[in-house]
Amino acid sequence: MKKPATYLDSVHRDGRVWGLLLAFLILCFPVAVSVLYGAMPDWGALWSGLLATAPMYWAVGIVEIFTYVPMLGAGGAYLSFVTGNISNLKLPCALDAMERAGVKSNSEEGEIISTIAIAVSSIVTTLIVIVGVILIVPLTPILEAPALEPAFDQMLPALFGGLAVVFVSKNWKISIAPIILMLVLFVFVPALGRDQVGIMVPVGVLFTLVVSRIMYKKGLL
């Protein structure tokens, strides 16, 4: 007798389907533009550029899978990788939702809460983008006002600062090592700017796991 499909079975099935479909659609756009406008790329230059840059993204992609999936759950991870902007939006939304619901990320409840939070954030983001596209022209003078520039610069630090207060207060011993690491890196390696944040999040998580394991073995936790 065939075993009935579980919730996670359906999540993995749908996640693979939508992930492959997204990859196909992403590749369709440049191909369609090239064909319609007769602007085919220089294949030699394209492959040489890919050989120089793609390995870094492969490594980051593999690290992100092992980093984000335990925190987001299967459904949340599939949805996040399809919709994007994980570290800046999806991850904070999922963590905050699970914190408010009082569930763990590795539980069935946490799996469902995380998926719902990420789905809602994706819908809200899409609606905001639509409204922004419609109102971009009349709102441009307001958004570019010098008085608002400092506020926009502090939006992301404020978001992660609020999350940090909650999680650092619960595990302050674990937080010391990654905080010191990131301070040292960003102070003494200025090249690690905003464009490298997506890479540094998985690095910080893996570093924290290693340090936490060592502290646990030594009886410090």
Residues 99-141 pLDDT 10s: 888 888 778 888 889 999 999 999 999 998 899 889 888 888 8
Weakest-pLDDT range from 26-35, 100-109, 152-161, 180-189:
152-161
Using a 10 angstrom Cβ sphere, with 0-12 exposed, 13-18 middle and 19 or more buried, the burial of residue 37 is exposed
Res. 2: pLDDT tops 60: no
* Domain match, 69 and 144 both: yes
* Domain match, 101 and 191 both: no
* Domain match, 111 and 160 both: yes
What percent of the chain has pLDDT above 70? 91
For the record, the structure tokens of 143 come out as 């958004």
Measured CA to CA, the distance from residue 215 to residue 172 in angstroms comes to 13
Q: Which structural domain, as residue segments, surrounds residue 119? A: 57-170
Residue 12 resides in a domain: yes
Residue 97 resides in a domain: yes
Q: For the chain, how many structural domains are there in total? A: 3
* Domain match, 134 and 164 both: yes
* Domain match, 32 and 121 both: no
SS3 content of the chain, % helix, strand, coil (to 5): 85, 0, 15
Q: What is the pLDDT of residue 1?
A: 52
What percent of the chain has pLDDT above 90? 9
Residue 49 resides in a domain: no
Residue 141 resides in a domain: yes
Residue 216 resides in a domain: yes
pTM of the model: 0.65
Number of Cβ atoms within 10 Å of the Cβ of 88? 15
Question: For 86, which DSSP code?
Answer: I
Q: Residue 221: CA atoms inside 13 Å, Cβ hemisphere, count?
A: 15
Give the pLDDT band of residue 197 (cuts 50, 70, 90): low
Average pLDDT, the chain: 82
End position of a domain, from candidates 127, 149, 170:
170
* Domain match, 187 and 93 both: no
* Domain match, 25 and 77 both: no
